[in-house]
A and B are shown apart, each in its own frame.
Chain A
Amino acid sequence: MSMPLLHLDQVTIRFGGLTAVGEVDLTIGANELVGLIGPNGAGKTTVFNLITGVYQPTSGAITFNGQTTSQLKPYQLTKLGIARTFQNIRLFASLSVFDNVRAAVQVHRDHGIRNALWRGQAFRDGEAAVEKQVMELLEIFDLGQFRDEEAKSLPYGNQRRLEIVRALATKPKLLLLDEPAAGMNPTEKAELTKLIRFIKDKFQIAVLLVEHDMQVVMGICERIAVLDYGVKIAEGTPTEVRANPKVIEAYLGE
C-alpha cells in the first residue's frame, strides 16, 4: 500500500478516569472498505469523533492524506475530505430533503454572501449547478421523488440513506458510517450492503464502517478491526476475525 489515506497512531482518549479509546492503531488505504466492530460501549463512535475532530486525542496522532489533523475543527476536516453519518440520525429537521443535501454541497463553494445578495448571472449559474449536483445524488439513491418533503418525515430507512447522500455531497475521500443498518429490516439491510459497495466503487472512496449487524460487516468489509473496552483486540480479514478467540470471547462475554 502506498501512503495510507488515514492513519491512527497510538490514539488514546480519556474521559475523566475512563479510557474510552486506548492506544489504537488503525490504517485505511484509499478506496479500502474497513469495518470497525465491537460490543456496546467499546469506543467505536468515539473513534469516529476522534477522526472527525469532534474530540482531540489525549495522546497519539491522526494523519489524514499525509496531514496531521490535530487542532483541526470538524468542518475543516470535512473540507479535507472526511465525511460521516451519525449513529442517531442527525438530519437538518427543518429543511427539505433537497435542502439537506444542498446545505452540504456548499462546502466547496465560495463568494456565498456576495452572490446571494447580488443575484446575478454567477449566482444563477451556481445555483443551477448545485441543483443539478444535488438531484443527481438524490436520483442515484432513489430519493429524487422526495426532494421537497421534510427530511424528518421520511421513513427511517430513507432517512439513513439521506444521511449518506448528504455526507457524499461534501465530496469525501473517506466516508465514516456509524451503524447505517440500525433499525433497518432485512430487505433494507441487503440493499444497504449493495449500496455501500456501490458507493465505494462509484465514488472511488474509502469507507470505514461501524456496524453491529455481522452479516452486513462480514459481507462487504475487506478488513475488520475489533475494539473491546477501547482497545483494539484483533484485526484481519472477516474469516480471520471470526475465528479469533479473543473476538469470540469479547462478544460472548457481552
Chain B
Amino acid sequence: MNSGAKRWLLLAIVVAFVTSCFSASFNRYYLGVAIDVGISTIMAVSLNLINGHTGQFSLGHAGFMAVGGFTAARLTLTLSSSAPPDSAQGIALFVVAMLFGGLTAAITGLAVGLPSLRLRGDYLAIVTLGFGEIIRVVFQTSETFGAATGLTGIPKQTTLFWAMSVAAVTVYVVACLVNSTYGRGFIAVHDDEVAASAMGISPTRYKVTAFVIGAFFAGVAGALYAHHKQVLKPDGFDFMKSIDYVVMVILGGMGRTAGVIIAAVLLTVLPEFLRGFAEYRMIIYSLLIIALMLLRPQGLFAFQKKSQTRS
C-alpha cells in the first residue's frame, strides 16, 4: 500500500469535505444517521485493533467513549461559557476538544490496560467490564459532569465532514499499523503469545499499544458523539453499548477491516430503519444477527483461526 495509503486518506477527506458542503440540502434525519455511521465506524474499527487483530477481549469500549465524550464536552462548555466563540474559534476549540477527549481516553486506557494486559486469558474482559460500569458511576455522581442528568447544551460542532474524516483517519491508522513489518507483531501476538515472545516480540507492549490506540479513537468518537447529540447522559454508555461494538467486530470478521466497516454501517443504519416497526425491531434485529452468524460463521468464531488475507 505504501504511499498509496496516504493518497487514499486524502481522497477520503476530500470526499468527506465535498459531501459535507452539500449537507445543508440533506434530510436532517438521514444526515444524523450518516454521522452516527461515521462514529460507529470509528468505534468498531478501533475496537477491531484490540479484539480482532491483537486477539484481546475488551468489553469496555463504550467506557472509553464516555471518557472522551465527557471530558471533551466539559472542555468545550467551560471554554465557551464566558463568551460564545465565533465559528472559526468554535471549530478550533472543537478540534482541541476531540484531541483532548482522545488523550484522556488513551491515558485511561493505559491505566486500565497496563495491569490487566500483563495477565493472560480473560482478565481483560473482566477488568474492562468492571471499568465500563465504574466509569459510568463516576460520571453519574460527579457534579463537574452534571451528575445523573449529564451534560447539556453542548455546541453542535460535529458535521458529516468531521465524522467521515475521523473515520477515514481511524481506518488509515489501523490499516497502516497492521500492514507493516512492525504491525505483524499484533497478529503474531493474536496467534501465539509464546511464539511471539520467542521471536523478540513483547506481547504486553503490543497489547498495551493496541489498547491505548483503540481507547484514543474511542475517546475521539465520544467527543464527536457529544458534539453531535449535544446532550450526554452517563446511562447512554452502559455495557450494552460496548456489546454493540463487540458484535460489529465479530460480525465483520475479527481482524478484517473491510468487514468490520460494513458491519458498523449495517448495524447502525438498520435499527434506524426498523424503528417504524418499533415493537418488532428487536426481533428483526436479533433474527438478522442470527442469519449473519449462520452465513458468516468464520466471522463469528474466528478467535483462533483465520485466513491470512487481511486488510
Q: How far is the CA of A170 from the CA of B1 in the complex (A)?
A: 25
**Nearest CB to that of A171 among chain B residues?**
B200
B190 at the binding interface (Cβ < 8 Å): yes
A86 adjacent to B2 (CB under 8 Å): no
Interface stretch (choices B42-50, B179-187, B214-222, B289-297): B179-187
A199 at the binding interface (Cβ < 8 Å): no
A150 adjacent to B307 (CB under 8 Å): yes
Instruction: Classify chain B's interface size.
Output: 35 or more
Complex interface: chain B residues within 8 A of A106 (CB):
181-182, 184-185, 200-201
B190 adjacent to A94 (CB under 8 Å): yes
CB < 8 Å A-B pair total: 132
A117 adjacent to B176 (CB under 8 Å): yes
Q: How far is the CA of A102 from the CA of B184 in the complex (A)?
A: 7
Q: How far is the CA of A112 from the CA of B209 in the complex (A)?
A: 12
A95 adjacent to B198 (CB under 8 Å): no
B200 adjacent to A107 (CB under 8 Å): yes
Chain A, 103-157, CB within 8 A of any chain B CB: 103-109, 112-113, 115-117, 119-120, 123-124, 126-127, 130, 148, 150-151
Identify 28 residue pairs between A and B in the complex whose beta-carbon atoms are under 8 Å apart, listed by A's number.
Answer: A74-B194, A75-B196, A75-B199, A78-B198, A86-B198, A92-B188, A92-B192, A99-B184, A103-B181, A103-B187, A106-B182, A106-B184, A106-B185, A106-B201, A107-B199, A108-B200, A112-B180, A112-B183, A112-B185, A113-B177, A115-B180, A116-B176, A116-B182, A119-B3, A124-B3, A127-B181, A151-B308, A170-B199
B307 adjacent to A78 (CB under 8 Å): no
**Nearest CB to that of A151 among chain B residues?**
B308
B201 adjacent to A94 (CB under 8 Å): no
A94 adjacent to B199 (CB under 8 Å): no
Complex interface: chain B residues within 8 A of A14 (CB):
none
Complex interface: chain A residues within 8 A of B180 (CB):
112, 115-116, 123, 127
B181 adjacent to A78 (CB under 8 Å): no
Interface residue count for A (Cβ, 8 Å)?
A: 45
A75 adjacent to B197 (CB under 8 Å): yes
Complex interface: chain A residues within 8 A of B176 (CB):
116-117, 119
Q: How far is the CA of A126 from the CA of B191 in the complex (A)?
A: 24
A95 adjacent to B177 (CB under 8 Å): no
Complex interface: chain A residues within 8 A of B5 (CB):
119
A91 adjacent to B200 (CB under 8 Å): no
A113 adjacent to B182 (CB under 8 Å): yes
B181 adjacent to A112 (CB under 8 Å): yes
Kindly name the residue among A54, A115, A116 whose own CB sees the greatest number of chain B CB atoms within 10 A: A116
A102 adjacent to B192 (CB under 8 Å): no
Please list the residues of chain B having a beta carbon within 8 angstroms of any beta carbon in chain A.
Answer: 1-3, 5-6, 173, 176-177, 179-185, 187-188, 190-192, 194-203, 209, 255, 304-308, 310
Q: Is the interface of A mostly helix, strand, loop or mixed?
A: helix
Complex interface: chain A residues within 8 A of B184 (CB):
95, 99, 102-103, 106
Chain A, 6-27, CB within 8 A of any chain B CB: none
Complex interface: chain B residues within 8 A of A54 (CB):
194, 197
Q: How far is the CA of A79 from the CA of B205 in the complex (A)?
A: 15
Partner of B198 from the list A52, A94, A120 (CB cut-off 8 Å) is: A52
A75 adjacent to B201 (CB under 8 Å): yes
A95 adjacent to B191 (CB under 8 Å): yes
Q: How far is the CA of A93 from the CA of B188 in the complex (A)?
A: 9
Complex interface: chain B residues within 8 A of A158 (CB):
none
> How far, in Å, is B9 (CB) from chain A's closest CB?
10
B181 adjacent to A102 (CB under 8 Å): yes
> How far, in Å, is B289 (CB) from chain A's closest CB?
24
Complex interface: chain A residues within 8 A of B182 (CB):
106, 109, 112-113, 115-116
> How far, in Å, is A80 (CB) from chain B's closest CB?
10
Complex interface: chain B residues within 8 A of A94 (CB):
187, 190-191, 255, 305-308, 310
Q: How far is the CA of A119 from the CA of B182 in the complex (A)?
A: 12
Complex interface: chain B residues within 8 A of A105 (CB):
181
Known contacts A106-B181, A116-B183, A126-B181: A99-B201 contact under CB 8 Å: no
> How far, in Å, is A127 (CB) from chain B's closest CB?
6
Partner of B187 from the list A83, A86, A95, A119 (CB cut-off 8 Å) is: A95
A166 at the binding interface (Cβ < 8 Å): yes
**Nearest CB to that of B182 among chain A residues?**
A112
Complex interface: chain A residues within 8 A of B194 (CB):
54, 74, 86, 90
Partner of B308 from the list A84, A99, A117, A127 (CB cut-off 8 Å) is: A99
A90 adjacent to B195 (CB under 8 Å): yes
B308 adjacent to A104 (CB under 8 Å): no
B199 adjacent to A166 (CB under 8 Å): yes
Complex interface: chain A residues within 8 A of B255 (CB):
94
A73 at the binding interface (Cβ < 8 Å): yes
**Nearest CB to that of B5 among chain A residues?**
A119
A116 adjacent to B177 (CB under 8 Å): yes
Chain A, 135-192, CB within 8 A of any chain B CB: 148, 150-151, 166-167, 169-170
